[in-house]
Chains A and B, each alone.
Chain A
């Protein structure tokens, strides 16, 4: 299927298959989700908890799971720790969590969050390439930008955070380095030519020589080209400053799905930016991003959300895109928003113990009945699931650096 339907696509698009991902974080998106029955709050730092959640998502044939992460303690405040003791605090590295579940799964994509602001692109490139090797072509990453002063003090390298636009430019450079390193080995660089004693053909290994405002990287990678060639790069359109990053660098962007007009406007703006600044010829998925509370009847879903709000002490959803209702109502909404130019959705379970199975066991069958979602995994790699071709290496057939 085309990854970028024309903006005018209407009823046909509404019934075309859509892509579905879930975002996993702690016990769920709602801060009181850990208090739900079945939430297993004492197991959030165990492999079994994550393996079970990803197995559930895979049983629902979802395209991928993303793993939220940050290089700081969770907080309800953007300015630093909030001192609260009534919410989940502490989490594991997302790349390692994804790697830990990779051998236990076979089809589902694994997309950990990576904070570009504070990490080395060389390390990230080989880590995600390796995730792609251990998952046999199912790796991606969700690029996160950090501008908070308290997170910066965990590294102590800079006196102050970069201005927003510059922070996103830096992240785009980070992705550019990561992508060049993935391409720095041609697919057929390993030759094992016993006759000449050469293990690799060094004409097929390439220095990338990236020189940017914030860093320079020589290359090549130490890890051979990943199975997908280019694992999936994703980023959230959390602010307008992120549109440029998505346009220039991503295979998939997450657009907050508040209402149809807002989605349509964001989609149009990101696609325009792709035309001017980005790799216009490359397909770009845009996924609606929203938190969901799902129950068999709408009043039950609202009641559950209100119960969680009461436990948390504050209503959930300030600034967030949230859906509360039945799987059938959500299916209607997703198909409607699909016409606004989205190619899929990343759903954030309000509570993983309840809303993840609601997605996989109620929403997915509903969409299947409507012919809007797959009935079996049709491909082995994440790119292929998303209808994206495996790109040729950019340096292949060029003389070695």
Chain B
């Protein structure tokens, strides 16, 4: 056995929303819009001493087959506004929001995040994402959409510009001495210039340096370009690999990229999204997990999911019957719009071939096949089993922690907080009290020095 000291686990909670993880039909499911839901969820996360709460963003309702998709939760509030309101009902919990770099402008987003950091006394984090599609662009007057290959160049430049804005105040300018009448030490406070292919902006940023210096930056992409972007710029990655082998490979790959940017491995936290199903016993948890999967993937949901691959209307098919024998429609996916998951099928014909093979070999119906291939239950078992699994993955460097996505809104986190967290604390791998006040404190990240010339 290694004598390596125990790693401390980072835990966060993702408010579940617009996808089929959420079992809205469960009698325990509450509103995903009422502020009370967010308050309950955030207070549970804070009671459990989680690092942060995570909120995704939507910029266009998903459509499928030319109509608004109606089988999952539809609709959500504005990310910034909810996070600012949550700052009033929590004290230490980090507040992380996804904000897109394509349909926004750096000055506005930088001032929103800097404001959130002030209003939360240092708890703001920004998950930078790079949607680019024309479908989303139809809701925006400018920016429109980007060629796919430019999305990272815009995101990188967006973040560089925003960083320049954050760094345009060094934090020492405000004197506010009523006797001498000196409010600012230096009239140049906030001066910035950024000139590049995407943004040509200059002037004065009007939010002074925030408690964390800059908000914590998350990145969520998995492509080679996304990993490089994260290694260069991000404080944490919202990862997708929750298993030992995939997680370790991803972890090693991303951390290996850090030195070329002059960074150390502890400067980038890797936090995969993870679901969980708990039971009094492992057997009971597995039984519940199976029921949850059936609720998440109804017959209709299975058909709609299959359409993502086949790229055509399959509503005539019986979800309890066999897969279509015909091949998917070639070309760009046009049946499902506004869905990130569609992009994972880079070779739909090959996916369809594998799925037919699997269904034949195991005698799976359409619904059973979809359940089998989209299993996203990361942790299933008793609290002891789940606590051990989380700890093992973190100690094995498959992750630095997890962003937990319960399948019930907003109460689904409660049982985790009440049963798994105490076991992690007993193992000595999770805090029993917050040691600091800011999200950077929780994540063990230092406050960056302003680098006005670092554009």
Task: Name A residues whose Cβ lies closer than 8 Å to a Cβ of B.
Answer: 32, 34-36, 39, 41-42, 45-47, 51, 70-74, 80-81, 83-93, 95-97, 99-104, 118-123, 126-127, 129-131, 133-134, 136, 150-151, 153-157, 185, 190, 192, 194, 197-202, 205, 214-220, 222-224, 311, 400
Q: How far is the CA of A101 from the CA of B72 in the complex (A)?
A: 32
Known A-B contacts A96-B116, A194-B25; the reply to A134 vs B60 at CB < 8 A is no
Known A-B contacts A91-B207, A200-B68; the reply to A134 vs B103 at CB < 8 A is no
* Partner among A51, A120, A222 whose Cβ is within 8 Å of the Cβ of B141: A120
Check B388 for interface membership: any CB of A closer than 8 A: no
A215 and B142 within 8 A (CB): yes
B119 and A47 within 8 A (CB): yes
Q: How far is the CA of A190 from the CA of B74 in the complex (A)?
A: 8
Known A-B contacts A96-B115, A121-B141; the reply to A192 vs B25 at CB < 8 A is yes
Can you offer 13 A-B residue contacts whose CB atoms are under 8 A? Answer: A42-B176, A71-B206, A80-B203, A85-B186, A93-B80, A123-B78, A155-B107, A155-B201, A185-B75, A200-B74, A220-B61, A222-B58, A222-B60
A127 and B142 within 8 A (CB): no
Taking the closest CB of chain A, its distance from the CB of B94, in whole angstroms, is: 16
Q: How far is the CA of A201 from the CA of B88 in the complex (A)?
A: 34
Q: How far is the CA of A41 from the CA of B88 in the complex (A)?
A: 21
Taking the closest CB of chain B, its distance from the CB of A156, in whole angstroms, is: 4
A214 and B141 within 8 A (CB): yes
Taking the closest CB of chain B, its distance from the CB of A263, in whole angstroms, is: 32
Known A-B contacts A96-B115, A133-B34, A190-B75; the reply to A86 vs B181 at CB < 8 A is yes
Check B418 for interface membership: any CB of A closer than 8 A: no
- Using CB atoms, name the residue of chain A closest to B206: A73
Known A-B contacts A130-B77, A199-B71; the reply to A72 vs B142 at CB < 8 A is no
Taking the closest CB of chain B, its distance from the CB of A76, in whole angstroms, is: 12
B176 and A41 within 8 A (CB): yes
A96 and B204 within 8 A (CB): no
A90 and B174 within 8 A (CB): yes
B35 and A153 within 8 A (CB): no
Known A-B contacts A41-B183, A93-B112, A223-B78; the reply to A205 vs B68 at CB < 8 A is yes
Q: How far is the CA of A122 from the CA of B199 in the complex (A)?
A: 21
Q: What 5 additional pairs, Cβ within 8 angstroms, besides A45-B207, A90-B206, A400-B68?
A: A46-B121, A72-B203, A85-B185, A86-B182, A86-B183
Q: How far is the CA of A93 from the CA of B83 in the complex (A)?
A: 13
Residues of chain B with a CB closer than 8 A to A126's CB: 77-78, 81
- Using CB atoms, name the residue of chain B closest to A150: B203
Taking the closest CB of chain A, its distance from the CB of B211, in whole angstroms, is: 9
A90 and B140 within 8 A (CB): no
B141 and A89 within 8 A (CB): no
B67 and A35 within 8 A (CB): no
CB-CB nearest 3 A-B residue pairs: A215-B141, A99-B84, A93-B115
* Partner among B35, B74, B89, B199 whose Cβ is within 8 Å of the Cβ of A199: B74
Check B445 for interface membership: any CB of A closer than 8 A: no
Taking the closest CB of chain B, its distance from the CB of A96, in whole angstroms, is: 4
Q: How far is the CA of A39 from the CA of B178 in the complex (A)?
A: 9
Check B347 for interface membership: any CB of A closer than 8 A: no
Q: How far is the CA of A310 from the CA of B96 in the complex (A)?
A: 46
A92 and B204 within 8 A (CB): no
Residues of chain B with a CB closer than 8 A to A74's CB: 206
Residues of chain B with a CB closer than 8 A to A90's CB: 169, 174, 189-190, 206-208
B118 and A92 within 8 A (CB): yes
Which has the most chain A C-beta neighbours within 10 Å: B85, B111, B185, B208? B85
Q: Mark B188-202, 1 if CB is under 8 A from A, else 0.
A: 011000000001111
Check B413 for interface membership: any CB of A closer than 8 A: no
Check B82 for interface membership: any CB of A closer than 8 A: yes
Check B281 for interface membership: any CB of A closer than 8 A: no
B84 and A96 within 8 A (CB): yes
Residues of chain B with a CB closer than 8 A to A154's CB: 107, 201-203
Taking the closest CB of chain B, its distance from the CB of A52, in whole angstroms, is: 13
Q: How far is the CA of A150 from the CA of B193 in the complex (A)?
A: 12
* Partner among B108, B112, B189 whose Cβ is within 8 Å of the Cβ of A118: B108
Q: How far is the CA of A130 from the CA of B24 in the complex (A)?
A: 21
B68 and A202 within 8 A (CB): yes
Known A-B contacts A90-B208, A199-B72; the reply to A120 vs B121 at CB < 8 A is no
Check B153 for interface membership: any CB of A closer than 8 A: no
- Using CB atoms, name the residue of chain B closest to A39: B178
Q: How far is the CA of A99 from the CA of B86 in the complex (A)?
A: 9
Known A-B contacts A47-B87, A223-B75; the reply to A192 vs B24 at CB < 8 A is yes
Q: How far is the CA of A81 from the CA of B72 in the complex (A)?
A: 49
Known A-B contacts A90-B190, A103-B35, A214-B141; the reply to A120 vs B81 at CB < 8 A is no
Residues of chain B with a CB closer than 8 A to A71's CB: 107-108, 111, 206
Check B350 for interface membership: any CB of A closer than 8 A: no
- Using CB atoms, name the residue of chain B closest to A139: B81
Residues of chain B with a CB closer than 8 A to A93's CB: 80, 111-112, 115-116, 207
Q: How far is the CA of A95 from the CA of B78 in the complex (A)?
A: 11
A223 and B76 within 8 A (CB): yes
B71 and A197 within 8 A (CB): yes
- Using CB atoms, name the residue of chain A closest to B193: A153
- Using CB atoms, name the residue of chain B closest to A126: B78
B139 and A122 within 8 A (CB): yes
- Using CB atoms, name the residue of chain A closest to B135: A218
B68 and A83 within 8 A (CB): no
Check B33 for interface membership: any CB of A closer than 8 A: yes
A133 and B33 within 8 A (CB): yes
A197 and B85 within 8 A (CB): no
Q: How far is the CA of A85 from the CA of B299 in the complex (A)?
A: 66
Check B384 for interface membership: any CB of A closer than 8 A: no
Which has the most chain A C-beta neighbours within 10 Å: B68, B82, B183, B186? B183
Check B282 for interface membership: any CB of A closer than 8 A: no
Residues of chain B with a CB closer than 8 A to A70's CB: 206
A156 and B200 within 8 A (CB): yes
Residues of chain A with a CB closer than 8 A to B298's CB: 197
Interface residues of B in 400-450 (CB under 8 A from A): none
B81 and A131 within 8 A (CB): yes
Check B105 for interface membership: any CB of A closer than 8 A: yes
Check B455 for interface membership: any CB of A closer than 8 A: no
- Using CB atoms, name the residue of chain A closest to B204: A73
Taking the closest CB of chain A, its distance from the CB of B444, in whole angstroms, is: 25
A81 and B35 within 8 A (CB): no
Residues of chain A with a CB closer than 8 A to B35's CB: 103, 133-134, 136
Taking the closest CB of chain B, its distance from the CB of A398, in whole angstroms, is: 15
Residues of chain B with a CB closer than 8 A to A153's CB: 201-203
Which has the most chain A C-beta neighbours within 10 Å: B111, B118, B184? B118
- Using CB atoms, name the residue of chain B closest to A216: B141
Known A-B contacts A72-B204, A199-B72; the reply to A85 vs B184 at CB < 8 A is yes
Residues of chain B with a CB closer than 8 A to A84's CB: 187
Q: Mark B98-120, 1 if CB is under 8 A from A, else 0.
A: 00000111011001100110111
